[in-house]
């Protein structure tokens, strides 16, 4: 099973890339994590935000695999606990179907991406910077896997 983290934005700060890569590498092959970066559409001063969202939306939908189960990360999504993610990960690994987790740009996800999602989830009631979301998702997937295998990384 593969988990694709489809995220708007490229050229992240080095600390983001380093942290994301570290956690993604720790995951085993049976639940490997891949990052798919969608270019951030240009936003001009006083420009058309709707046009930028539409461009990102189109690219994001094209990046979703044909048979992927799609999970949109949204502020109004259902809260995800670490233990809940571990249960979801266990289920995902058992069914073997690929997943796509969508992370929007500064203006959120577009309507096509939201429509493609079978689930809407929230990492926090806080507004998180989009680069940090990549790191949090990778770390939480690693933590969820450590729970499943009884690894001492998770000590709740």
Which three-class secondary structure state does DSSP give residue 11?
Answer: coil
Is 124 marked within a binding site?
Answer: yes
Is 77 marked within a binding site?
Answer: no
Region 113-140 average pLDDT: 94
Fold exhibited by the domain 2-149: Alpha/beta knot (3.40.1280)
- Each as own residue / partner, the long-range contacts of residues 13-17 (CB below 8 Å, 24 or more positions apart, any chain) are 13/131, 16/131, 16/132, 16/134, 16/135
Residue 80 half-sphere exposure, CB side, CA atoms within 13 Å?
A: 24
C-alpha 113: how far from chain center: 13
Report which of 92, 116, 90 is spatially closest to residue 102, judged by C-alpha positions: 116
Is 5 marked within a binding site?
Answer: no
Is 128 marked within a binding site?
Answer: yes
Is 85 marked within a binding site?
Answer: no
Report which of 107, 104, 110 is spatially closest to residue 123, judged by C-alpha positions: 104
Is 89 marked within a binding site?
Answer: no
Which three-class secondary structure state does DSSP give residue 141?
Answer: helix
As to burial, measured by CB atoms within 10 angstroms (0-12 exposed, 13-18 middle, 19+ buried), residue 138 is: buried
Whether pTM > 0.85 for this model: the answer is yes
> 45: Cβ–Cβ under 8 A, 6 or more apart, which residues?
none
Q: What is the pLDDT of residues 46-101, one digit of tens each?
A: 668 888 899 999 999 999 999 999 999 998 999 999 999 999 999 999 999 999 99
Is 65 marked within a binding site?
Answer: no
The answer, yes or no, to whether residue 6 has pLDDT greater than 80, is: yes
Is 100 marked within a binding site?
Answer: no
């Amino acid at each position: 099973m593969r988990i694709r983290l489809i995220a708007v934005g490229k050229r992240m700060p080095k600390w983001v890339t380093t942290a994301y890569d570290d956690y993604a590498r720790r995951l085993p092959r049976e639940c490997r994590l891949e990052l798919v970066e969608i270019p951030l559409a240009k936003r001009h001063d006083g420009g058309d935000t709707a046009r930028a969202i539409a461009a990102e939306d189109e690219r994001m939908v094209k990046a979703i695999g044909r048979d992927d189960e799609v999970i949109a990360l949204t502020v109004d999504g259902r809260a995800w606990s670490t233990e809940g993610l571990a249960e979801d990960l266990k289920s995902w690994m058992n069914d073997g179907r690929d997943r796509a987790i969508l992370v929007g740009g500064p203006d959120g996800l577009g309507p096509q991406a939201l429509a493609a999602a079978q689930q809407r989830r929230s990492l926090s009631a806080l507004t998180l910077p989009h680069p940090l979301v990549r790191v949090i998702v990778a770390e939480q997937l690693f933590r969820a896997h450590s729970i499943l295998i009884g690894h001492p990384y998770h000590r709740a």
